[in-house]
Structure 1
Amino acid sequence: MKLKRKFVAKPWGQDKLPQPFAGDRSSRIGEIWFEPPTGVTPQLMVKYLFTSDKLSIQVHPNDRQARRQGFPHGKEECWYILDAEPDAKLGIGLTKSVSTTKLHAAVACGQMENLIDWRPVQPGDVFYVPAGTIHAIGPGITLVEIQQNVDVTYRLYDYGRPRELHLEEAIEVATPAPYDLKHQSRAEADQSAKLIDGPQFRLFQVIGDDPDIFHQIQASEWHVVPLEGKVTVRGKLIASGECGLCTRSSEIDLKKNVRSLVACTMKPGGK
C-alpha cells in the first residue's frame, strides 16, 4: 500500500524543501511522516527531516525501560543522510564517558552542548542509533529517519529554548558515553548493500532491480522508500518522496527502481 504523507511544521524546519517536495508552504516544514490507514499499525515509522537549526538533545528508552512507563516497546532508529551543508554536523554520543551526576550538572549549568560529540556529515552517511544514545541533529541537513513506531522521546537539553524537558527520565535511560563507531557506515551511491543489521530492524540500499539482497529474509513487514526512480508495492506505484508498505518481499517490484531504501522488521526466528 502507499502511505499518506503528512507535512509537519517545526520551528527548526526549512522554508524551501528540495525536490520532490518543493512548493510554497505557509510554515517551516521540519518533518514529513508516512502514515498508514486507520486500523493499520506498522512496527516501523519512516520520516524525512529537514533542519535549519539544532534539534534538542534527546534520548530514547529501550524495551524494558519503555514498558515500565507503559509503552509497548522502546525506540531505536537510524539516519540516512541525503544532503548536508558543508559545515553540517550531528551530535551523537558524548566526547567521553561521564557519571550521571556530571550529566545532570552539565544540563543545569548550560554546558550539555559541550559534552556532545558533534560529527561532520555528508550525503551517504548512515548512523544506527541504539536506545540510550544521547543524540541531536544539527542545522543544514536533510535525512531519512527510520524508527520503531512509538512516541517516546525524552528531551535532555534544548539550548535554553522554552520547551518542556524530561531531565530525570532522560538521565535514567541515557548511556553517558561515546558513540560506538561500529554503528556508523557509508552507502555508496551505486552499490546495493545491507546498511543496518540491528536487533529491531534491517535497512538495505537497493540499486536497480536487485531483490536478491533481501529476497530470502523472513520479515513481518517491509517499508520501501524510493530515492530515485519508482517501485511498485502491492500493485501501487511508489515514486521518489513516497513510501510503500507490504508484508512480503515478493510484493515489491523493482523494475523501475534506480535507488531505494528498503527496511524490514524481523519475524521471531527470522533470518
Structure 2
Amino acid sequence: MKLKKHLVNKPWGRTDIPAEFGTLSGRRIGEIWYIAETEAPLPILVKWLFTSEKLSIQVHPDDAQAHARGMSLGQEECWYVVDAGADAVIGVGTTRPLSSEELYAASLSGEIEGLMDWKKVSAGDYFYIPAGTVHAIGAGIILVEVQQYTDITYRLYDYGRDRELHLDDGVAVSSATPYTDARSGNAGLGTQLVDGPHFQLWHVSAMDDVPALPPSGNIWIIPLSGQVQTDGEAAAKGDCIITSDKAKITFSSDATALVAF
C-alpha cells in the first residue's frame, strides 16, 4: 500500500518543492513524512527533507537514553542526498573531540557552528547518523531520511531562531567527536547503504539487487526515478509504498529506488 503523506512546515523549508509531491499552496515545507494509519507503530519512518536554510545543530538519543527519559525508542537515521546545490554542505560530527562542558559552552555561545565538520555533498552521497552524533543539514539540499520510527530531537544551536533549545538533554546524550562511521560514501546502484541493528537500506534498480530479504515482515520502497509497481499500485518519485511480498514488486526500466526493511 502507499503510505500517507504528512506535510510538515519548517522555518528552514521550501516553497518550491518538486511537483511530484503535490500542490502545496505556498507552504514552507521542510519535511514530508510517510505514515500508515495502523494501531501499532511501524519500526521504520521515511521522510523527504527540503532545505532553504541550515537546520539546527542537533542530536538524538539511543534506545537506552530514550527509555531513561520515558520514551520508547531512540533515533538513528540514514540520509541519502537526492539533490544538492553547488555549495551544499552537511555537518556530521565535530572537528575535534569536545568535552560535555565544551559542547555546552560552544552551543550557548554559537561557537559550535565553527566546530562542526561541514562536508560538501552532492547527489548520491549518504551518511548513517548513529545516536549521539552531533549533526546538521545545510541549505539547498533534498534528501531522503530513513530512521527509527520516533521523533526525538534535541536542539543544541539554532542560529538565533526563536525555538526552544535542549542543552541539558542534548549535551547528556552527545558524543561530540569527529565522524568516522563507515556507513557513508556515494551510493552506486546495487549498493547496501546500511546493515544495522534498526534497519537495512539499499539503493537499487531492481529487487534482484537485494540478495536477501527477511522471510517475513514489511519492505519499504522509496522510488527515486521511474515507476515501481506492487500489490496492484504504481508508485513514483514522491510516493512511498510498503509491502510484504517481494515477488509482486516490479521496476520499470528507468526505475531506481531506496529499499528498506
TM-score (norm 2): 0.94
Deviations 1:128-151 (A, max 9, x none): 000000000110000001110012
Secondary structure in structure 2 of the residue aligned to 1:182:
coil
The answer for the alignment partner of 1:252 in structure 2 is 249
In the alignment, the residues of structure 2 paired with residue 130 and residue 41 of structure 1 have an alpha-carbon distance, to the nearest angstrom, of: 21
Deviations 1:75-111 (A, max 9, x none): 1001000000000000110000011111111122221
The answer for the alignment partner of 2:187 in structure 1 is 187
Write the letter of the residue equivalent to 1:169. D
Q: How does 1:32-43 map to 2 (within 5 A)?
A: 32-43=32-43
Identity in percent: 45
Q: CA deviation at 1:72?
A: 1.2
Write the letter of the residue equivalent to 1:6. H
The answer for the alignment partner of 1:198 in structure 2 is 196
Q: Are the equivalent residues in 1 in contact too, given 2:107–2:157 (CA < 8 A)? A: yes
In the alignment, the residues of structure 1 paired with residue 212 and residue 250 of structure 2 have an alpha-carbon distance, to the nearest angstrom, of: 12
In the alignment, the residues of structure 2 paired with residue 161 and residue 65 of structure 1 have an alpha-carbon distance, to the nearest angstrom, of: 27
- 1:7 aligned onto 2:10: no
Q: Are the equivalent residues in 2 in contact too, given 1:13–1:28 (CA < 8 A)? A: yes
The answer for the alignment partner of 1:238 in structure 2 is 235
Q: CA deviation at 1:40?
A: 4.5
More displaced 10-residue stretch of structure 1: 226-235 or 49-58: 226-235
The answer for the alignment partner of 2:78 in structure 1 is 78
User: 1:247/1:40 Cα in 2 relative to 1: closer, same or farther (>3 Å)?
Assistant: farther
Q: How does 1:91-240 map to 2 (within 5 A)?
A: 91-188=91-188, 191-207=189-205, 209-218=206-215, 220-240=217-237
Secondary structure in structure 2 of the residue aligned to 1:128:
strand
The answer for the alignment partner of 1:20 in structure 2 is 20
User: 1:182/1:237 Cα in 2 relative to 1: closer, same or farther (>3 Å)?
Assistant: same
Structure 1 segments (4+ residues) deviating >6 Å:
none
In the alignment, the residues of structure 1 paired with residue 209 and residue 142 of structure 2 have an alpha-carbon distance, to the nearest angstrom, of: 29
Write the letter of the residue equivalent to 1:174. S
TM-score (norm 1): 0.90
Structural RMSD (CA)? 1.7
Q: Are the equivalent residues in 2 in contact too, given 1:42–1:221 (CA < 8 A)? A: no
More displaced 10-residue stretch of structure 1: 72-81 or 2-11: 2-11
User: 1:165/1:211 Cα in 2 relative to 1: closer, same or farther (>3 Å)?
Assistant: same
May I ask how many residue pairs the two structures share in their alignment?
Answer: 261
In the alignment, the residues of structure 2 paired with residue 166 and residue 219 of structure 1 have an alpha-carbon distance, to the nearest angstrom, of: 39
Write the letter of the residue equivalent to 1:133. T
Q: Are the equivalent residues in 1 in contact too, given 2:13–2:29 (CA < 8 A)? A: yes
In the alignment, the residues of structure 1 paired with residue 87 and residue 26 of structure 2 have an alpha-carbon distance, to the nearest angstrom, of: 28
Q: CA deviation at 1:127?
A: 0.5
In the alignment, the residues of structure 1 paired with residue 209 and residue 123 of structure 2 have an alpha-carbon distance, to the nearest angstrom, of: 25
Q: Are the equivalent residues in 2 in contact too, given 1:215–1:249 (CA < 8 A)? A: no
Structure 1, gaps ≥5 residues long: 265-271
In the alignment, the residues of structure 1 paired with residue 101 and residue 77 of structure 2 have an alpha-carbon distance, to the nearest angstrom, of: 27
